[in-house]
Amino acid sequence: MLSSIFLAIIVTIDPGSAFQPEFSEPIDNLTVPVARDATFRCFVHHLGGYRVGWVKADTKAIQAIHDHVITHNPRISVSHNDHSTWNLHIRNVQEEDRGQYMCQINTDPMKSQLGHLDVVVPPDFINEETSGDVDVPEGGTAKLTCRAKGHPEPHVQWRRENGEDVIIREPSGQRTKVSSYQGDILRLVKITRSEMGAYMCIASNGIPPAISKRIMVTVNFHPVIQVPNQLVGAPLGTDVTLECYVEASPKSINYWVRDPDGMVIPSPKYDVQVVTKSLFEVKMTVIVRNLHKEDVGTYRCIAKNSLGEVESNIRIYEIPGPTRLYAPLDEEDYNEQFGSAENDEDVVSNSVSSDRANRIVIINTGSPPRDGGHQNHVPVDSVSNGDGCFRIKKLHKFMFSLVLWQVVRLGGSW
């Protein structure tokens, strides 16, 4: 009705000019992000006494006639330049401003042309239709939903925050790994602990900025312990490390118990550590310092969470330490018995030399002197040439000297 009134007004005006007005250029279509400003320009030649009006075509609402704004929308204004360029300004564009706008000249018949305003809106999540963090038992199904609005309509994809693949299991049993998944809803069927973690829902529609939402998926299961070595042997006086690997969700309470003494408490004797390996796995270690006979026995690593408790045993046992035998030799005897590495006659294989060296350690159990003569004491296990082989004849002489030294040391007679 308003547009018909405008037509009645412009038809009754006497142009008083011999030339009919014409549009010199078409109106440009506009694409404007929401909250920005938009300006339509209408170019007219030979306007004379005619008038220019603006109408929103889809609602038939008159926006302005010549210099006067008709609409009550305070964001609308008009301007012109030398009666040839007529502008319609829309400030702080909103989605309801989207549509076609008509520039009219009040000729008979009326002349008009259209321009389209597209208001684009970056994506935004619909919070009430988007999932929060999810807890699910292992083997269950996690349903993640992510809804977004915007113009154009956003599309949604899913990725794992750690960069690992998303695992899709079909009802047929087919299992597919994908780097990203397209769609508003992501279903993780028969989920496993390895799929636990943060999933990113990313919405975009070509209008920056794209947005993302982080959804944490927690897979719950009772604790499980893996022990690399359940029997650990060590010589007395050494440090012994015991290890347990625990997987649990929710996170478990982890501690060591030594039977029958009770819980192992951090101390100079026990170095207790827990190292996080992943969201659901930790490494428990206890280092027993300076092993004594009373430290030998069974140690238990224990893990507890709200779904269960589990433990595993590790036993420490004593093994003999390395024994080294020393014989007093002066430099002359040493050269006589072992000679130079350059002389390579009468050699035997490494396997033989190793066997005989061991026999020497077992047979001769004497201790090295403690009275400052270490510079002339040579370890038995160093009796070899540069190639790792013994000289048979000189080995016999060496063994003879060792037996003689034992007799003299013990005060006996030959």
Can you name the residues that pair with 298 across neighbouring β-strands? 315
Q: How many C-beta atoms lie closer than 10 Å to residue 294's C-beta?
A: 7
Q: Token match 């027993």: residue?
A: 288
Per-chain mean pLDDT for the chain? 81
- The helix/strand/coil state of 408 is helix
What domains are there in the chain, each with its CATH number?
A: 2-120 (2.60.40.10), 126-221 (2.60.40.10), 227-318 (2.60.40.10), 326-409 (no CATH)
pLDDT in tens, 60-95: 999 999 999 999 999 999 999 988 999 999 999 999
Contact present, 73 and 61 (Cβ < 8 Å)? no
Give me 382's structure tokens. 């160093």
pLDDT, one tens digit for every residue, the chain (414 residues) = 444 444 444 444 444 456 789 999 999 999 999 999 999 999 999 999 999 999 999 999 999 999 999 999 999 999 999 889 999 999 999 999 999 999 999 999 999 999 999 999 999 999 999 999 999 999 999 999 999 999 999 999 999 999 999 999 988 889 999 999 999 999 999 999 999 999 999 999 999 999 999 999 999 999 999 999 999 999 999 999 999 999 999 999 999 999 888 999 999 999 999 999 999 999 999 999 999 999 999 999 999 999 999 999 999 999 997 644 444 445 444 344 444 333 433 333 333 333 333 333 332 333 333 334 333 333 333 333 444 434 444 444 555 555 454 544 455 444
pLDDT in tens, 236-274: 999 999 999 999 999 999 999 998 889 999 999 999 999
Give me 176's structure tokens. 């597919």
Alpha-carbon distance of 33 to 92, in angstroms, equals: 9
- Among 60, 61, 204, 201, CA closest to 120: 204
Contact present, 42 and 86 (Cβ < 8 Å)? yes
- Among 57, 58, 54, 60, CA closest to 76: 54
Strands 30-33 and 111-125, sheet pairing: parallel
- Rounded to two decimals, the pTM is 0.67
Q: How many C-beta atoms lie closer than 10 Å to residue 391's C-beta?
A: 22
Tell me the C-alpha to C-alpha distance, in Å, between residue 193 and each of 132, 144, 179, 220, 239. Answer: 19, 17, 18, 8, 35
